[in-house]
Structure formats: structure tokens, C-alpha cells
A and B are shown apart, each in its own frame.
Chain A
Amino acid sequence: MIWRNVPAAAGLFAVLYTSGMTAQSIRWFWFASPHTFFPLAGRIAGVAATLAAVFAAAGLYVGFFVAPTDAQQGEVYRIIFIHVPAAWMSMFIYVVMAFWSAIGLALQTRLSAMMARALAPTGALFTFIALWTGSLWGKPTWGTWWVWDARLTSELILLFLYFGFMALTASIDDRRRADRAGALLAIVGVVNVPIIYYSVKWWNTLHQGASVSFTQAPSMAATMLTGMLLMALAFWMYSIAVAMVRVRCEILEAER
């Protein structure tokens, strides 16, 4: 019956027509194809890795040789040069991961799910580093390795969210179902990020408030701030480089 095919043909025509339109009007979709993104990701990774090394060298130099000893804490405060940037990255990477997950769910672009998968291990790593360095700072400064205050607990939950995402996407064989399940987890879990960020305001935490925020001038010496921002740039570039190399692995492995 030729009648049955009319709606299907109309639907197909509509899809082809609109996809052709978007491909023309929005160039971004060109890079949504893993195949075209692959060489670009390689170039980004190379540049980011170089910049990461430069920023890290500058940051460590400023952090250890330029920034003065802290009047109250002594030398141990130098842990913040990696602690704070690692904590920033742990939250930021999660937001980016949730963003790509949402795009992947909405537009069904394969590369989006690959980006989310590529970011998760690095995000988990920085979350662990934030907890580890915080603990080593807390012992001499607070007198304890760990307290169950809102900041530390919500950051630990972030680590479990990363682990949950990685375990979930790895344990489901069907790739599309795995990516959809992971995306849901990532999107639901993103509520934890503002909780971490504002935990020091909302609750009475042992963890101190933000020394650097969007609304106020930083409450620390200029050289200390410089060292911290250089390390933040280094971690940022490192994350980009590693995520780009990993997304290339994801693309290669998916094509097997």
C-alpha cells in the first residue's frame, strides 16, 4: 500500500531538510562529528599540554620562591597552591561533564557522550587531589585529617558521583543505553556543585570561606594569588590536554 509510505517519506524529507539547514547555518555541528573533531582534538591537546607545563613551572616558582611565608600558618599554607585549583577543577569539570551529557541527551550527538566519558576520570582525580591535599593541610592547621562538615562531605559526594558515572557507563554493554544512563546521573548530580560552592556560607563549616570569589576582592597577598592563579591555569590546561587525548581514544575505540 503506497499510502502507508507517505507519512514516512514526509518525515524523512523533513529530517533531511532541517538537518541540511542546521548544518549550513550552524557551523558548530560540523565538529559534532567525531571524525572531523579527531584531528582538531589532537592539535588542542598539543597546545594545552605545552601551556600546562609552562604555567606549572611559573606557578611552582612563584609558589615556592616568590610568595612570602604566611604570618599565621607558616609554610604549610603553600599547599593551597594546588589544593584550591584542584578543588576548582573538580567542580568545573563536573559542570562541563553534565553540560555535554545534557547536549548528548537532547541532540543525540555521539561526540557529546564521548566528551563526558573523557572528562570523568580527570574530574575524579582532581576531586581526590583536593581531598588529599586538604587533609594534609588540615592536620597541622586544624589538628584533624578529616571532619564531616558540609564542605568536605559534599566534596566527597562529588568523588562518588564521578565514580558512579564511570562505573555506570562502563558496566552497561549497549553504548547508547550506557551513555544515556551516565548522562542522567551526571545531570542529576550537578546539584551537588552549588552545594559544595556555597556550603561554607550555608552551613557553619570548619572549612574557611572563599578567599577568592566572584564578588569580592581577594583577601590574600598579590604574590600568593598570582601563584594560585598560575597553578589554576596549569591544571586547566592539563585537564584540556588529557581530555582531548582521551576523547581521541574514545573515538578510535568506538570505531573498532
Chain B
Amino acid sequence: MSEFFAMGGYGAYIWGAYGVTFALLALEVIFLLKRKREAKA
């Protein structure tokens, strides 16, 4: 398991890339749903 997260020593780069990508996509969805709620209200 820890071997998987280590990614052959490149863990920081890979999880930094994937983490930021999916965090940003999630943030976009959250902000968009908030905007939708406000637009409907």
C-alpha cells in the first residue's frame, strides 16, 4: 500500500498533480451548485 503511494519516489509529483486537479474540479462544481441555488432562489 505504501509502495503504491510512494510511486517509485515520484509520489509527491503524481499526487500533487492529481490532488490539485481533482480538488479544482470539485471546487468548480461546489461554486457552480452554489451559483445555481442562488439563481433559482
Contacts and interface: CB of A to CB of B under 8 A. Distances in A.
* Binding partners A and B: yes
Interface of A: 64, 69, 74-76, 78-79, 82-83, 86, 121-122, 125, 128-129, 132-133, 136-137, 139-140, 238, 242, 245-246, 248-249, 252-253
Which bracket fits the contact residues of B? Answer: 20 to 34
A64 B33 CA distance: 30
Given A132-B21, A137-B17, A139-B13, A76 B7 contact: yes
Contacts of B17: 79, 82-83, 132-133, 136-137
Given A74-B8, A238-B25, A140 B32 contact: no
Contacts of B4: 64
A238 B22 CA distance: 12
A69 B8 contact: yes
Contact of A242 (B16, B21, B32): B32
A78 B18 CA distance: 10
A139 B10 CA distance: 11
Contacts of B28: 121-122, 125, 242
A140 B24 contact: no
Interface string B2-35: 0010011110011011101100110011001101
Nearest to A246: B32
Nearest to B29: A242
B39 A74 contact: no
B20 A249 contact: no
B32 to A, nearest CB: 6
A136 B10 CA distance: 10
Contacts of B35: 246, 249
B32 A249 contact: yes
B21 A245 contact: no
B24 A78 contact: no
